Structure 1
């Protein structure tokens, strides 16, 4: 017999992640994750915050690197939908940023894939238009 999954717990954990994201408390965000993680944000090697991470303690660095590239007061995010299936959640959202060095703005749809175990996030994959990000940063043509 299959064990029932705690979809409410998965949703609650993902919602807590986004609530913490809004506070700018990078260490608090990291506390929402397991010690060992499967974190992936695709992108160019020239964009220092992209790529994989495998440990909780690497998460604050991601947000500090990314945050330094943008104007925090001009960041926008709206969540369109949270879809939960057992321990997995997919979040469909829209992001907007303003680049700190050149003032360029961009908006794009994004998707997050989370896996939650025992109230902690073990997987976070972000799917975004990394070409648009690189172009806005002035890294890609």
Structure 2
């Protein structure tokens, strides 16, 4: 492994995070390869998936556009924030650790969810996007009959 791989990986991840912060789904999706391994760690068959339609497996750049569009549709823009605590890089792989602060648009409930994002970068494009997040906090925020409040 050359020293160029970790530097290029970090630069790609930092650009991805910058674009996510800007919120333009098409511009974000340009960071992904035409096909990628995209998974969101979410308990299958639990927590009313109809209320969280962005949470599904994806595999194409067009899927990435759809993900970021639906994610924005279901969350209020006001007060949204992401705290990135650390970016760990090992060759073509990177892990981003942090916490998101969002508000579920359908219920008006704010939530915080810790996350770890594992990406693989090849030729300047993301080929793996695996996210692990506090799915219970998200599910509670979107549950119209749930307890509500900041988790």
Question: Which TM-score applies when normalising by structure 1?
Answer: 0.92
Q: Deviations over 1:72-107 (max 9, x none)?
A: 122110110000000000000110111112221111
**How far apart, CA to CA, are the structure 2 residues paired with 1:67 and 1:101?**
12
Instruction: Choose from 95, 117, 122 the match for 2:122.
Output: 117
Q: Does 1:30 align with 2:35?
A: no
Please name the residue that 1:8 is paired with: 7
CA RMSD, Structure 1 to Structure 2 (Å): 1.5
2:107–2:144 contact (8 Å) kept in structure 1? no
Q: Provide the secondary structure at the position in 2 that maps to 1:125.
A: strand
Instruction: Choose from 90, 93, 116 the match for 2:98.
Output: 93
The number of residue pairs the alignment matches comes to 139
**Contiguous gaps of at least 5 residues in structure 2:** 147-151
**Contiguous gaps of at least 5 residues in structure 1:** none
Question: Which TM-score applies when normalising by structure 2?
Answer: 0.86
Deviation at 1:108, TM superposition (A): 1.9
Instruction: Choose from 50, 57, 72 the match for 1:67.
Output: 72
Q: Provide the secondary structure at the position in 2 that maps to 1:51.
A: coil
1:134–1:140 contact (8 Å) kept in structure 2? no
